[in-house]
Amino acid sequence: RKEVEQDPGPFNVPEGATVAFNCTYSNSASQSFFWYRQDCRKEPKLLMSVYSSGNEDGRFTAQLNRASQYISLLIRDSKLSDSATYLCAVNMYDQGNLIFGKGTKLSVKP
């Protein structure tokens, strides 16, 4: 089983739609959780850190469920500019490196 798994894509949604991505992690020692956004042929950029209490940034909401070992990202009122690949990343207590999922591609259509 992969350490970090994400919903297979692509997700094709119309503008204005709400879309949710899930990510599961296998190691219960995972301590920190992140969502990165990656545009085609560009580097990953941090979208949100994910905290135990959940957190929101404008149209984006991230949730963490430690008991079930998954994190989620909700995007409301999708914009064309949200089209990208969304990468889930975790790291463990004693490790500096991030472990990434494969990413989920989102295409928002007019």
Partner 1 sequence: GAGVSQTPSNKVTEKGKYVELRCDPISGHTALYWYRQSLGQGPEFLIYFQGTGAADDSGLPNDRFFAVRPEGSVSTLKIQRTERGDSAVYLCASSLIPGIQETQYFGPGTRLLVL
Give the binding site for partner 1 (CB under 8 A): 4, 31-32, 42-46, 49, 87, 89, 91-93, 95-103
- Nearer to partner 1 by Cβ, of 14 and 93: the residue is 93
CA distance 36 to 100: 9
CA distance 80 to 4: 27
Q: How far is the CB of 2 from partner 1 (least distance, A)?
A: 10
Q: How far is the CB of 72 from partner 1 (least distance, A)?
A: 17
Q: In Å, how far from its chain's centre is CA 98? A: 13
- Nearer to partner 1 by Cβ, of 3 and 74: the residue is 3
- Nearer to partner 1 by Cβ, of 46 and 80: the residue is 46
Instruction: Kindly compute the dihedral angle of the four CA atoms of residues 30, 42, 19, 35, in this order, to the nearest 10 degrees.
Output: 20
- Nearer to partner 1 by Cβ, of 18 and 42: the residue is 42
Q: How far is the CB of 76 from partner 1 (least distance, A)?
A: 24
Contact indicator for 106, 8 with CB cutoff of 8 Å: no
**Positive or negative torsion for Cα 40, 46, 51, 55:** negative
